[in-house]
Amino acid sequence: MPDPCVAGIDIGGTKIALAVADLEGRIIEQKRFPARTSERGPHAIIEEALSEIERMLGSAGSRLDAVGIGCGGPLDRARGLILSPPNLPGWDEFPVVQIVEERLGVPALLDNDANAAALGEHRHGAGRGYRHLVYITQSTGIGGGVIVRGELVHGVCDGAGEVGHMTVLPDGPVCGCGGRGCLEALCSGTGIARRARERLAAGASSALSSLSSEEVTARAVAEAARAGDTLASEVWDEMIHYLAVGVGNLFNALAPEAIVIGGGVSEAGEQLFAPLRERVRERARMLPPEKINILQASLGGDSALHGAVILAQAARARRAEPTS
Amino acid sequence: MPDPCVAGIDIGGTKIALAVADLEGRIIEQKRFPARTSERGPHAIIEEALSEIERMLGSAGSRLDAVGIGCGGPLDRARGLILSPPNLPGWDEFPVVQIVEERLGVPALLDNDANAAALGEHRHGAGRGYRHLVYITQSTGIGGGVIVRGELVHGVCDGAGEVGHMTVLPDGPVCGCGGRGCLEALCSGTGIARRARERLAAGASSALSSLSSEEVTARAVAEAARAGDTLASEVWDEMIHYLAVGVGNLFNALAPEAIVIGGGVSEAGEQLFAPLRERVRERARMLPPEKINILQASLGGDSALHGAVILAQAARARRAEPTS
């Protein structure tokens, strides 16, 4: 008889990641392929993902018990719908859970990718061993997940963990959400690049001046700051100033055992984390400084994929419960 | 045989409130007396409180099973110590739990008064029926309590719920904690009065100009604003602007079913709540506007006393658990 297993799917704007794992959540095989979501539409892409999962199952000689799916919001988690995420044009009210369940004949569970990444880092990454944790993804946008007593907090309308839309500068720049001075507007990769471009356009001289506008990315700003460029250092420093406001506020509100930060910008490592810890300690003074525990995510781009596997484990456990 | 009951003690800077309640937490008798804490010292005051509880028990013909205590922080909750709160001079490492347990021979449980008030409003007040709730006390200072899945979140070093020290204006005025731009510095009763005094000292004309400095309180500002005074209206409006940042951030981070606000400033009622709801909706745009549920506390000055009774129920339940 084939071994039972579960599968995870992480749906991103430019790639789909897949994993087949044993019932303990240990990944047996994983794969990543470009999604070209705007060209092909959701049905073709999900079909490709499911065929690939079937191939992985075949080569592992395994039987599938459940599927977990992480995807950028907004979602209707209870109904298993993907609701027109900005990074997935054409995915409107897409019933991903129903399609997966009907196609594979197993239960499926959907959650947003930041919550999935929080689960992944909590169970297998930098957040291991903490029962009380906030995860922040600092990438193109900023999202997050809140774990209290070992479980995700979803909140009303699954709105918990929208840390990217906390105000960190009351009359600051307009955010994509329509608000002002959100953490995402000031500290996301997009926000960092925009602020650098604004200063360059205002005529400041910098190593970044030789780049085209598209080449002025958060990564380029981090590199130039590391090399001592004044403009880039100011932009980087300002980002950390506002990130410390947001992270400090989470420590003041929740006093988590750790805040784990992942996503592209966090790959700058100590260039981000060392000054951030110092600034947060100035803002969360009700806690002893040594309790300000801010960690770099350790699963790299796979946090949400690990989380999707954990969602599959949850879907399997839920199915196994007696429905008395 | 006498009916079993529990008692709650709410220790404030200027008053002690006491209650004796049945095992369901229904208050049988309650009393409040001035504490004059700085004159008499903690031992005399606690002795007076315990004698009064014994008198209340005698007249009710009840047997005491447990005591709950709410007190301003900092505390060492695990060890049952009150650690030099700013509003209780002379209460240094005061072992209130041990003293109560030895004197009355029943288990006692201590928590900070904002957490106690959160429990009180959650079980018996404006927060009834919500499993996921933030309570904010907007009084001389600003404190709070966070309830997730029906239980208080304490966090590391019991630091959760320190919402008064969330930054709402990154380079704002210095707060008592040493930080800058904390919610408490801008929106507490003390903060409101200070900002009004600063404007008066700068020479602005106002109905408040005829008052002595001590008479310029948050209540006086609220009253003058209601009467149409320009300076007072500006101070009040500015306070709501920053309070909306803090409250909005809590909705973004946690998406609670409700945020309940108590304390002296909140007694302004709709003069506070109506504009606050509107502003928070502009800052927590990831939630549908109708889910921004901001409520005035309904137990008035008794929120924390009700919470102390709930702590006593918890102390009793803990004692009743088999210690296998």
Residue B118 CA to residue B143 CA, distance in Å, equals: 10
Residue from B111, B263, B244, B81 nearest B190 by CA: B263
Query: Would you say residue A324 has pLDDT above 50?
Result: no
Q: Please state the ipTM of this predicted complex.
A: 0.95
Q: Which residue in the set B146, B245, B255 is minimally distant from A253, CB to CB?
A: B146
Task: Please indicate whether, in this complex, the C-beta atoms of B160 and A288 are within 8 angstroms of each other.
Answer: no
pLDDT tens for A127-179 read: 999 999 999 999 999 999 999 999 999 999 999 999 999 999 999 999 999 99
Chain A: give the shortest CA distance to residue B54, in Å: 37
Residue of chain B whose alpha carbon sits nearest to that of A165? B252
pLDDT value of position B84: 83
pTM equals 0.96
Task: Please indicate whether, in this complex, the C-beta atoms of A252 and B132 are within 8 angstroms of each other.
Answer: no
Domains and CATH numbers, chain B: 3-112+302-320 (3.30.420.40), 127-297 (3.30.420.40)
Terminal-to-terminal C-alpha distance of chain B: 29
List, in sequence order, every residue forming a beta bridge with B63; answer none if it has no partner.
Answer: B4
Residue from A239, A236, A135, A225 nearest A184 by CA: A239
pLDDT tens for A103-134 read: 999 999 999 999 999 999 999 999 999 999 99
How far is C-alpha B32 from the chain's CA centre? Answer: 16
Residue of chain A whose alpha carbon sits nearest to that of B242? A170
Measured between beta carbons, the chain B residues lying within 8 angstroms of A155 are 132, 254-257
pLDDT value of position A169: 98
State the average pLDDT over residues B144-166: 97
Measured between beta carbons, the chain A residues lying within 8 angstroms of B288 are 157
pLDDT tens for A85-98 read: 887 888 899 999 99
pLDDT tens for B249-277 read: 999 999 999 999 999 999 999 999 999 99
Query: Would you say residue B110 has pLDDT above 70?
Result: yes
- The confidence band for A38, taking pLDDT boundaries of 50, 70 and 90, is low
Residue A130 CA to residue B16 CA, distance in Å, equals: 38
Task: Please indicate whether, in this complex, the C-beta atoms of A162 and B253 are within 8 angstroms of each other.
Answer: yes
Task: Please indicate whether, in this complex, the C-beta atoms of B179 and A283 are within 8 angstroms of each other.
Answer: yes
Instruction: Kindly calculate the radius of gyration of chain B based on its CA atoms and give it in whole angstroms.
Output: 20
Say what angle helices A230-254 and B230-254 make with each other, to 10 degrees: 80
- The confidence band for B60, taking pLDDT boundaries of 50, 70 and 90, is confident
Measured between beta carbons, the chain B residues lying within 8 angstroms of A118 are none
pLDDT value of position B324: 44
Mean of the per-residue pLDDT values of chain A: 94
pLDDT tens for A199-237 read: 999 998 999 999 999 999 999 999 999 999 999 999 999
Contact A60, A5 (CB under 8 A): yes
pLDDT value of position A221: 98
State the average pLDDT over residues B197-223: 95
Residue of B130, B157, B167 to mutate, testing the A interface (most A Cβ within 10 Å of its Cβ): B167
Say what angle helices A270-283 and A230-254 make with each other, to 10 degrees: 50
